[in-house]
Amino acid sequence: MIKLVRGFKDILPADTALWQHVEALARELLEDFGFYELRIPLLEQTELFSRSIGAGTDIVEKEMYTFTDRGGASLTLRPEATASVVRAYVQHRLYAKDPVWKLYTIGPMFRRERPQKGRYRQFYQINAEVFGVDDPRTDAELILLLMRFMGRLELPDITLQINSLGCPECRPRFKNALESFLTSHSGQLCSDCLRRQDQNPLRLFDCKVPSCKETMQDAPSVLDHLCETCRAHFGSVKESLEGFQVPYQINHGLVRGLDYYTRTTFEVLAESLGAQDAVAGGGRYDGLVKALGGPEQPGVGFAIGLDRLIELLAGRAQVFEKRPHVFIAAIGKRAQSVGFQWLQDLRLQRVRAEIDFENRSLKSQMRRADKLEASYVLIVGDRELDDGIAVLRNMTTKEQEKVPLENIISFVVNRIDTTAVGSR
RNA sequence: GUGGGUGUAGCUCAGUAGGCAGAGCACCGGGUUGUGGCCCCGGCGGUCGAGGGUUCAAAUCCCUUCACUCACCCCA
């Protein structure tokens, strides 16, 4: 048997209804907030990611699916969406028509990590990006949108954490302070942290080793090193969130894994997910558009991890499954051919109808109707055909009524509430 | 990349002093002539993850390998 590739997965019919529901809700909300959908390719030039995400990051260094295509170009399956969205914004000069764009995209990303709970090599994200506005209310609005989405899904036990990483003005000052702190405390750090110290010193803030945690409590905070404008910006984000009663925690150790982030960063965490507890994350990236060859335009965005979100919603999938409205139980050859005609006619009227082609006993056909959770069963055999009727049984009330064969389709259509999702 | 746990029927799992591969659920049929769920009876279904070794005999012991899973790491 040929099996699927490690770290990849099939999303089976038992779950697709839930995925569709979540995606539809996201589209609805995003479009209410003025976002337009952008569809971008799965494959990009490798350089796009090494330049945006950062050549030294783990993603670029050891997690990308990169290959040389037959023409000799180095291509990469996208490990995230923002780089592609920025590329499209720049390449098509969207900024020339209007510098302000609110774009979203939904689709799979690829990272070759070791699979575990909530971490797959192909995983799905909903991405939203806003270009051309550096007003802190945009940051807040984006977070509000995100939290409304979570609220609409009725997710339990989620927390929002926010932080500011500063800008090219103030970040170097903080980095210096942090570096000298780390150098003087290197004796108390674990081997992982000593390795991270040069590559990505901010990461030390979320090390899980107790001694590191303790040491880092005395480490300098980014928030104490923000310049005047960054401080004001962050203050305004917080103020807006409070104005909309969005509860948040400040986590000065909150870091993004990608180099391009500036100022506001945020993450939505769900404890019940286990080690991979970030359901959504994002932040501002004011230098990225320019770094990718575009004009000096600010940007801010987020990504929602769909796989993890669905995980949180596990068990609710059944609610969104669509059961048949009518099951046609046809006994005998003559009835079978009449029933097959009705089946197609009902579907023309957007009634979900099913039939069994095996010409089995009425008992088996009833059993099948029950298994499919059909709302009604339309019973027809030689007896009914001779009398010019069929029997319509309501499976919940067990009431049966005789239906004349002429106009039978419209009769059934009227009995059924085609707007109802399930049948019970 | 590093560690731990687990691989037996479609699913959830039993099965060790090595001795005929099991249960529940699911699926199919039946419980008198044309009516579902509950109950009863019967049936279908397995290269015991794969390869090798020890043995008269291996799901069980040994070696190798693969997969899944959780955690580290990393991140949505």
Q: What is the ipTM of this complex?
A: 0.84
- Listed as ranges, residues in chain A with pLDDT below 50 are 419-424
Residue A372 shares a structural domain with residue A285 = no
Q: Judge whether A133 lies within some domain.
A: yes
Looking at the structure of chain A, the number of domains it has is 2
CA/C1' separation A71–B60 (Å): 55
Q: Dihedral, CA atoms, A12, A18, A23, A25, nearest 10 degrees?
A: 170
Determine how β-strand A249-250 pairs with β-strand A158-164.
Answer: parallel
Residue A67 shares a structural domain with residue A151 = yes
Q: Judge whether A76 lies within some domain.
A: yes
CA/C1' separation A399–B40 (Å): 28
Report residue A355: phi and psi, to 5°.
-145, 165
Q: What is the model's pLDDT at position A202?
A: 80
- Reading the block at residue A182, the tokens are 């780390």
CA/C1' separation A399–B37 (Å): 16
Q: What is the model's pLDDT at position A423?
A: 39
Give per-residue pLDDT as tens, A369-398.
998 899 999 999 999 999 999 999 999 899
Q: Judge whether A376 lies within some domain.
A: yes
H or E, element range at A160: strand A158-164
Q: Map residue A26 onto helix, strand or coil.
A: helix
CA atoms within 13 A on the CB side of A258: 25
Q: What is the model's pLDDT at position A317?
A: 72
Residue A304 shares a structural domain with residue A364 = no
Residue nearest the C1' of B2 (CA based) = A114
The Cα A84–Cα A196 span in angstroms is 28
Give me the domain span that covers residue A375: 322-415
> Look-up: residue for tokens 């529901």?
A21
CA atoms within 13 A on the CB side of A242: 8
Q: Judge whether A120 lies within some domain.
A: yes
- Reading the block at residue A193, the tokens are 């942290």
Q: Which of A269, A301, A317 is the last residue of a domain?
A: A317
What distances in angstroms separate CA A233 from CA A260, A280, A301, one per listed residue? 18, 22, 16
Burial class of residue A305 in the structure, from the number of CB atoms within 10 Å of its CB (0-12 exposed, 13-18 middle, 19+ buried): buried
* Residue A231: how many other CB atoms lie within 10 Å: 16
Looking across all nucleic acid strands, the nucleotide with the smallest C1' to CA distance from residue A384 is B34
Cα A54 from chain centroid?
Answer: 24
> Look-up: residue for tokens 């952008």?
A38
The Cα A322–Cα A216 span in angstroms is 52
CA/C1' separation A3–B57 (Å): 34
Give per-residue pLDDT as tens, A265-303.
999 999 888 888 999 999 999 999 999 999 999 999 999
- Reading the block at residue A204, the tokens are 């030390």
Residue A47 shares a structural domain with residue A61 = yes
CA/C1' separation A14–B9 (Å): 22
Looking across all nucleic acid strands, the nucleotide with the smallest C1' to CA distance from residue A379 is B35
H or E, element range at A329: strand A326-330
- The predicted model scores a pTM of 0.90
What distances in angstroms separate CA A8 from CA A3, A13, A20, A111, A120, one per listed residue? 10, 16, 19, 10, 6
Spell out the residues 6+ positions from residue A226 whose beta carbon is closer than 8 angstroms to its own.
A164, A166, A170, A234
Q: Judge whether A1 lies within some domain.
A: no
CATH classification of the domain holding A91: 3.30.930.10
The Cα A219–Cα A181 span in angstroms is 7
Residue A146 shares a structural domain with residue A252 = yes
Q: Map residue A128 onto helix, strand or coil.
A: strand
CA/C1' separation A364–B29 (Å): 9
Looking across all nucleic acid strands, the nucleotide with the smallest C1' to CA distance from residue A393 is B35
CATH classification of the domain holding A390: 3.40.50.800
Which amino acid, one-letter code, is at A337?
S
> Look-up: residue for tokens 């049984």?
A393
Closest C-alpha among A252, A260, A220 to residue A234: A252
H or E, element range at A68: strand A65-68
CA/C1' separation A121–B45 (Å): 34
Spell out the residues 6+ positions from residue A109 whose beta carbon is closer than 8 angstroms to its own.
A78, A79, A80, A81, A122, A123, A124, A125
Phi-psi group of A235: left, alpha or beta (phi > 0 → left; psi -120 to 50 → alpha; rest → beta)? alpha
Identify any residues that bridge with A158 across adjacent strands, giving them in sequence order: A270
Looking across all nucleic acid strands, the nucleotide with the smallest C1' to CA distance from residue A127 is B76
Q: Which of A292, A317, A342 is the last residue of a domain?
A: A317
Q: Judge whether A35 lies within some domain.
A: yes
Looking across all nucleic acid strands, the nucleotide with the smallest C1' to CA distance from residue A115 is B69
The Cα A382–Cα A285 span in angstroms is 72
Residue A254 shares a structural domain with residue A391 = no
Looking across all nucleic acid strands, the nucleotide with the smallest C1' to CA distance from residue A390 is B34
Nucleotides of B under 7 A from a protein CB: 1-3, 27-31, 34-37, 67-76
Q: Which of A266, A293, A317 is the last residue of a domain?
A: A317
CA/C1' separation A49–B65 (Å): 36
CA/C1' separation A310–B12 (Å): 23
Residue A110 shares a structural domain with residue A255 = yes
The Cα A93–Cα A98 span in angstroms is 9
Looking across all nucleic acid strands, the nucleotide with the smallest C1' to CA distance from residue A59 is B74
Residue A272 shares a structural domain with residue A358 = no
Q: What is the model's pLDDT at position A299?
A: 96
Q: Judge whether A290 lies within some domain.
A: yes
- Reading the block at residue A417, the tokens are 């509430």
Q: Judge whether A26 lies within some domain.
A: yes
